[in-house]
Amino acid sequence: MTLGEHILILRKKHNLSQAALGKLVDTSGDIIGRYERDIMTPSIDVIMKIADVLDVSIDFLVGKTTLELDTKVLKRVEEVSKLNDEEKGKIFMVIDALIRDFKAKKAYS
């Protein structure tokens, strides 16, 4: 998917018009439309603003990853990354157990 397609889909997901998104990122709705049609490519500063408004990572917005991390999840990941290896290991052990349990529950339901 292109940058423009991601912007379009995410903008609609957030129920924003092109004009509203443009206003939130200090540009016009017409420019947002050009981004969505891949006629123009926004600067990195504008990409950062759009990603913030649409609550996604820049990597997801530009198509570098298919993993859509909202800012709440991303902040949690950042907090975990600041911990020492022992603390990270404990958190990962709990997360792994929860994921395993959720998958098992889903498989048996």
Domain span holding position 34? 3-61
Q: Are 10 and 57 found together in one domain?
A: yes
Average confidence (pLDDT) over 33-61: 94
Burial class (CB in 10 A: 0-12, 13-18, 19+), 56: buried
CATH of the domain at 43: 1.10.260.40
Helix axes 29-36, 3-13, angle to 10 degrees: 120
Is residue 66 a part of any domain in this protein? no
Number of domains in the chain: 2
Task: Show which of 42, 61, 80 is a domain's final residue.
Answer: 61
Residues 36-49 pLDDT 10s: 999 999 999 999 99
Predicted local confidence at residue 79, as pLDDT: 94
Residue 68: predicted pLDDT: 77
Label residue 83 by pLDDT band (50, 70, 90).
very high
